[in-house]
Amino acid sequence: MKKSYLLLLLLLQLANTGRTQSAKPDTISFTTYFKEIETATKKHRQLWNMDLYTSILIVDPQTRKIVANEADTAGILTGSADRFTGYLPPQVNVANTALHWGGKHWAMLLLPLPQDKHERINLLAHELFHKTQPSLGFALHNAANNHLDEKNGRIYLRLELEALKKALQASPDRERKQYLTHAFTFRKYRHQLYPDADSTENLLELNEGLAEYTGFVISERSRKQAVVHFENSINSFQQNPTFVRSFAYHTIPVYGYLLSSRNKYWNKKISPDTDLTSYFIDAFEIEVPQDLRHEAERIAADYNGRQIMAEETKRAVEKRKLVAEYKSKFVEQPHVELYFEKMNVSFDPRNMMPLEDKGTVYPTIRVTDNWGILTVENGALMSPDWKKISLTLPTELNGNKISGDGWTLELNESYTLTMNSSSGNYILSKKK
């Protein structure tokens, strides 16, 4: 894939980790929202030695109407001062993300925004960090962590998060250090179980973890509000269908918050080459035990281990059935294969499912390409190399609009979908 597509893939993340949403976008004062995030970022300029406030698009996903704080350079938006309006074309995917459009680079936010001011500023600052991230020297990574869809990967991530919840409640003394030691024991044992897990987790934590920590700091919650926020977000996260791309929202922000009482601007010591696990272990002066397996198994019961293991054992059984079903639908039986030319994509990072070495199933995903627009609401298989996406067979072919079980394909005039007589698969081709 080309760099521009990797960039968009990295940042196109729908519905940031289940934040509370308002229900009436027509009552929103956009000017107020722009002003409050401008004030908040300016106040916390020292966090990254720069003001993160910049170009913002707020988009209604239903109508695609835009309200922006700045004009674009292509003359698409109209208005004055700090309120410009227009409509986003259908070729552009809508998401909480950073994107290049209308001649500028923007932070895009979807309506409805959270009603709670702290949550709203948190979300806005998170996406503003992503927009500014390259200028801070951080590469744009969105590494998949498929081991976090495996039974033990999930167990030891959940145990780590339970230990972090206890560390949040503890006073900053020996008791907190004990909980942090246990959190890192679970983390290091997880990394021992899965080769390369330490590096792939680190890449996502440098990206989403730092972005979410930035949003948290700029949102200015009190200590009591911070503890409630983190506990609620961790509890909500553990109900997600999958953890592979969303776990970093709930690890680095907590470690960073706990460390900030010692070093307010610890984040300034982080570089693209930093191993965050090692950094925090050193910063908290943690001694991780040598026999990780023995210690992790010994302390698991103190962190709801029995229930977590029972839940994950049950999930593993159900997952095997679902994997078999997906392999049958998207690999073994005849299906549709769409190869990418110039792809942009948006998806929900909370619900995708790795399918062994076949790729990843995305229950919901939207793809735009030279050939048209694909909208999926009931599953599609993305290949491991991101060169194609597979769908179930079409059930209706109506000119350039083709649909199947939970998916719709709107083809451009120069493309057609035809069946390969030998395989039974449908593939795209250009009209002659």
Task: Please spell the DSSP secondary structure of 245-278, one letter per residue.
Answer: TTGGGGTHHHHHHHHHTT-TTGGGG--TT--HHH
Residue 223 forms part of a structural domain: yes
Does residue 95 sit in the same domain as residue 168? Answer: no
Would you state the structure tokens that stand for residue 233, as one six-digit string?
Answer: 């977000």
**Tokens 């300029």, residue?**
45
> Of 286, 303, 320, which residue constitutes the final position of a domain?
303
Q: Which residues contact 412 (CB under 8 A, 6 or more apart)?
A: 370, 371, 372, 400
pLDDT by residue for the chain (432 residues), tens digit each?
343 333 344 444 443 444 444 434 444 589 999 999 999 999 999 999 999 999 999 999 999 999 999 999 999 999 988 899 999 999 999 999 999 999 999 999 999 999 999 999 999 999 999 999 999 999 877 788 999 999 999 999 999 999 999 999 998 888 999 999 999 999 999 999 999 999 999 999 999 999 999 999 999 999 999 999 999 999 999 999 999 999 999 999 999 999 999 999 999 999 999 999 999 999 999 999 999 999 999 999 999 999 999 999 999 999 999 999 999 999 999 999 999 999 999 998 888 999 999 999 999 999 999 999 999 999 999 999 999 999 999 999 998 999 999 999 999 999 999 999 999 999 999 987
How much of the chain, in percent, has pLDDT values that exceed 90? Answer: 87
How many CB atoms are located within 10 Å of the residue 338 CB? 22
Give me the pLDDT at residue 140, please. 77
CA–CA distance, 44 with 46 (Å, rounded to integer): 5
Q: Which residues contact 247 (CB under 8 A, 6 or more apart)?
A: 145, 148, 157, 201, 204, 237
Residue 164 forms part of a structural domain: yes
Give me the pLDDT at residue 29, please. 86
Residue 105 forms part of a structural domain: yes
Burial class (CB in 10 A: 0-12, 13-18, 19+), 318: exposed
- Grouping H, G, I as helix, E, B as strand and the rest as coil, residue 84 is strand
Does residue 291 sit in the same domain as residue 228? Answer: yes
Burial class (CB in 10 A: 0-12, 13-18, 19+), 251: buried
Return the bridge partners of 388, or none: 339
**Tokens 């350079």, residue?**
73
Sort strands 104-110 and 56-59 into parallel, antiparallel or unpaired.
Answer: parallel
Does residue 83 sit in the same domain as residue 220? Answer: no
Residue 315 forms part of a structural domain: no
Does residue 93 sit in the same domain as residue 175? Answer: no
CA–CA distance, 335 with 260 (Å, rounded to integer): 52
Q: What is the side-by-side order of every strand in the sheet holding 394-398?
A: 344-347, 365-369, 372-376, 407-411, 401-404, 394-398
Does residue 67 sit in the same domain as residue 117? Answer: yes
- Grouping H, G, I as helix, E, B as strand and the rest as coil, residue 59 is strand
Does residue 282 sit in the same domain as residue 161? Answer: yes
The dihedral over CA atoms of 70, 73, 74, 75, expressed in degrees to the nearest 10, equals: 50
The gap from C-alpha 406 to its chain's centroid, in whole angstroms, comes to 23
- Length of the chain equals 432
CA–CA distance, 117 with 33 (Å, rounded to integer): 9
CA–CA distance, 100 with 14 (Å, rounded to integer): 17
Q: Which residues contact 250 (CB under 8 A, 6 or more apart)?
A: 17, 161, 230, 233, 234, 237
Does residue 247 sit in the same domain as residue 166? Answer: yes
- Grouping H, G, I as helix, E, B as strand and the rest as coil, residue 91 is coil
Residue 8 forms part of a structural domain: yes
> Of 303, 318, 351, which residue constitutes the final position of a domain?
303
Residue 311 forms part of a structural domain: no
Would you state the structure tokens that stand for residue 149, as one six-digit string?
Answer: 């869809």
CA–CA distance, 105 with 90 (Å, rounded to integer): 18
CA–CA distance, 154 with 308 (Å, rounded to integer): 9
Does residue 207 sit in the same domain as residue 226? Answer: yes
**Is the Cβ–Cβ distance between 210 and 267 less than 8 Å?**
yes
Does residue 354 sit in the same domain as residue 218? Answer: no
From its phi and psi, is residue 64 left (phi > 0), alpha (psi between -120 and 50) or beta? left
Give me the pLDDT at residue 28, please. 58
CA–CA distance, 394 with 409 (Å, rounded to integer): 10
Does residue 91 sit in the same domain as residue 234? Answer: no
Residue 79 forms part of a structural domain: yes
> Of 287, 303, 319, which residue constitutes the final position of a domain?
303
Residue 314 forms part of a structural domain: no
Instruction: Please give the helix or strand (H or E) that residue 17 lies within, else none.
Output: none
Does residue 49 sit in the same domain as residue 132? Answer: yes
Q: Tell me the residue range of the domain where 362 lies.
A: 332-430
Whole-prediction pTM: 0.91
Instruction: Please give the helix or strand (H or E) that residue 83 lies within, else none.
Output: strand 83-87
Does residue 130 sit in the same domain as residue 153? Answer: no
CA–CA distance, 22 with 20 (Å, rounded to integer): 7
> How many structural domains comprise the chain?
3
